Structure 1
Amino acid sequence: MAVKPRHLFEELSHRGPHQVLRGDLALIGLPGVVFTPRSGLGLPAVAFGHGWMQPVDRYLGLFRHLASWGFVVAAPATQRGPLASSRLFAADLVSALDVCTGVRLGEGSISVSASSLGLAGHSTGGGAAVLAAADDPRVRAVATLAASQTKPFATDAAARCAMPSMHLAGGADVVAPYVGHARLIAANWGGPAQLRVLPKVDHMGFAEGRHWSGLLIPGSSHHGALRIARVLLTAFFLVHLAGQERFRVLLDADVKGAPIEDTAELVA
């Protein structure tokens, strides 16, 4: 009997089977954090881009969750100023993947497969992930959270991306309204793309806790959005980076609070 999507959602809402280690990317030349399973060779890895002016600490729950399901997660803590460069941040995401594949992590008991690399990001970090994916043929999958437009344009870079992608967006986002940002990125995507809109979630709904930048950026952390993002990103990368096809049924189903949107009418 096939497993129902809601059962898979419930399974992935819990921590995975792996104990998790945290490390500091600065020790190997790039400011940021890295989370890994306690051990494992040939693991899949994801580089994550933080949102505009956000510390990487606002995504630690997501990083720990992914690591508990067998992923190495590297998050550069660079380009955090108000005039940050999306182009340079994209280069830092690529550098994070280079670190993952080129250095034995932990006490030498953790390695990453160069054929199982993904990118993800929130806000401008999502746009930077798209820029990085367009120019790095190693990338096998991309996921974004409330992705926003960048310079160079993420919407243009999306057309050069042939790998599968998933884009979660907030229906109440007034900073980067999904119609002109995440939806256009998904519609322009050169490969398979899925867009899900969380109706009551704003731009900062995918970030954890609070930060002083809330004085400048409207929105706040949303428990439901965090849970949905953890589950769907884990399922997405398990399928496309780890080859665990049993979770594909969840990716193909409407999830309560995050239905799949049709972007076909935007394609010329």
Structure 2
Amino acid sequence: MARKAKHLLDELARRGPHEVLRGDLALVGMPGLVYTPKSGLGLPAVAFGHGWLQPPTRYADLFRHLASWGIVVAAPGTHTGPLGSHRLLAADLRTALDVCVGVRLGDGDISVDPDRLGLAGHSTGGGSAVLAAADDGRVRAVATLAASQTKPFATEAARSCGMPGLHLAAGHDLVAPPASNAELIARAWGGPVQVRTLPKASHLGFTEGRHWSGLLVHGKAEHATHRIARALLTAFFLVHLTGEADYLPLVEEDLKGAEITYDGDDDLAATPA
């Protein structure tokens, strides 16, 4: 089974079969990005929360990757300053899902299924994704990257999250150490949940390119971290939002470089609506 998971990792780490379109959430009154497959009806959608001081463009390749596998991604560009509100970013993530469901994207030949919605985020954006999921019964799955604590507390909000959760932690994270962030969120999680630790990753390892915030926040963009994160998030959302059972081994099995360090449920299999 481990060999099967490695094969799926190699497959999903590569760009998917769909051509990708990029749009701007500013057209509906919110700064941010949206990435979609070129066409498709009843697609899954994920709203993504950026990390502290990080613009959404620092995750553009991740968004493009998910869209190439048939997943619409909307990423608000709000609250990017040092005093950005976690609570209001969570509200904007829910609004981004509203936009995905309520607006025909592209030239009108792209639509999102309201029963196939997920949330994701990095750092405090991961914590905000947890806050948003706790207050939104539409959300079917949540994934975080190096999740950080928020105010209100993501660890408290996690108790209201009954959907599957995947939390990728960075082993060299000096900002949000796995044991005091991702694992605490997972231990409070109200549904099936898993923590995977990438032992060589840093807090900013999930971001792309260079940014002045690197002077304040530990870490830098890491190709190996990107590769594993893209494959695992793609598998997780395809399984839980679309019922693609072929990718279950990558969701359920241990993987070199992304070992399962906490498993809150023996069965992470999906039963999407």
Q: After TM superposition, is the score higher than 0.5? A: yes
Q: Secondary structure at the match of 1:262?
A: strand
Partners of 1:53 and 1:192 in 2: CA distance: 31
Q: Tell me how far 1:103 sits from its aligned partner.
A: 0.3
Q: Tell me how far 1:3 sits from its aligned partner.
A: 8.0
**What aligned pairs does 1:12-91 form with structure 2 within 5 A after superposition?**
12-91=12-91
Q: Tell me: CA distance 1:4–1:263, structure 2 relative to 1, closer, same or farther (3 Å).
A: closer
Partners of 1:40 and 1:201 in 2: CA distance: 35
The equivalent of 1:178 in structure 2 is 178
The equivalent of 2:164 in structure 1 is 164
The equivalent of 2:206 in structure 1 is 206
Instruction: Provide Cα deviations, 1:13-67, integer angstroms capped at 9, x if missing partner.
Output: 1111100000000011111000000000110000000000001111011000000
The equivalent of 2:267 in structure 1 is none
Instruction: Provide Cα deviations, 1:200-223, integer angstroms capped at 9, x if missing partner.
Output: 211101101110011111111111
Q: Secondary structure at the match of 1:256?
A: coil
Q: Secondary structure at the match of 1:33?
A: strand
- Percent identity reads 68
Whether the aligned pair in 2 keeps the contact of 1:183 and 1:263 (CA below 8 Å) is: no
* Residue type of the alignment partner of 1:179: A
**What aligned pairs does 1:143-154 form with structure 2 within 5 A after superposition?**
143-154=143-154
The equivalent of 2:271 in structure 1 is none
Whether the aligned pair in 2 keeps the contact of 1:43 and 1:71 (CA below 8 Å) is: yes
Q: Secondary structure at the match of 2:204?
A: helix
The equivalent of 1:116 in structure 2 is 116
Instruction: Provide Cα deviations, 1:210-250, integer angstroms capped at 9, x if missing partner.
Output: 10011111111111111000000000000000110110111
Unaligned residue ranges in structure 2 (runs of 5+): 265-273
Instruction: Provide Cα deviations, 1:172-214, integer angstroms capped at 9, x if missing partner.
Output: 1111111111110011100000000111211101101110011
Partners of 2:262 and 2:54 in 1: CA distance: 30
Q: Tell me how far 1:262 sits from its aligned partner.
A: 2.7
Whether the aligned pair in 1 keeps the contact of 2:183 and 2:262 (CA below 8 Å) is: no
> How does the TM-score come out when normalised to structure 1?
0.96
Aligned length: 264
Whether the aligned pair in 2 keeps the contact of 1:31 and 1:78 (CA below 8 Å) is: yes
RMSD: 1.3
Partners of 1:61 and 1:254 in 2: CA distance: 25
Q: Tell me how far 1:255 sits from its aligned partner.
A: 1.4
Where in structure 1 do 4 or more consecutive aligned residues deviate above 3 Å?
none
Whether the aligned pair in 1 keeps the contact of 2:15 and 2:69 (CA below 8 Å) is: yes
* Residue type of the alignment partner of 2:248: R
Q: Secondary structure at the match of 1:5?
A: helix
Partners of 1:255 and 1:247 in 2: CA distance: 13
Q: Tell me: CA distance 1:263–1:71, structure 2 relative to 1, closer, same or farther (3 Å).
A: closer
Partners of 2:262 and 2:30 in 1: CA distance: 39
Instruction: Provide Cα deviations, 1:142-198, integer angstroms capped at 9, x if missing partner.
Output: 000000000000000001000001000111111111111111001110000000011
Partners of 1:211 and 1:180 in 2: CA distance: 26
Q: Does 2:104 match 1:104?
A: yes
Q: Tell me how far 1:5 sits from its aligned partner.
A: 1.1
Q: Does 2:207 match 1:219?
A: no
* Residue type of the alignment partner of 1:190: G
Partners of 1:92 and 1:124 in 2: CA distance: 14
Unaligned residue ranges in structure 1 (runs of 5+): none
Q: Tell me how far 1:253 sits from its aligned partner.
A: 1.1
Partners of 2:98 and 2:214 in 1: CA distance: 33
The equivalent of 2:269 in structure 1 is none
The equivalent of 2:249 in structure 1 is 249
* Residue type of the alignment partner of 2:182: A
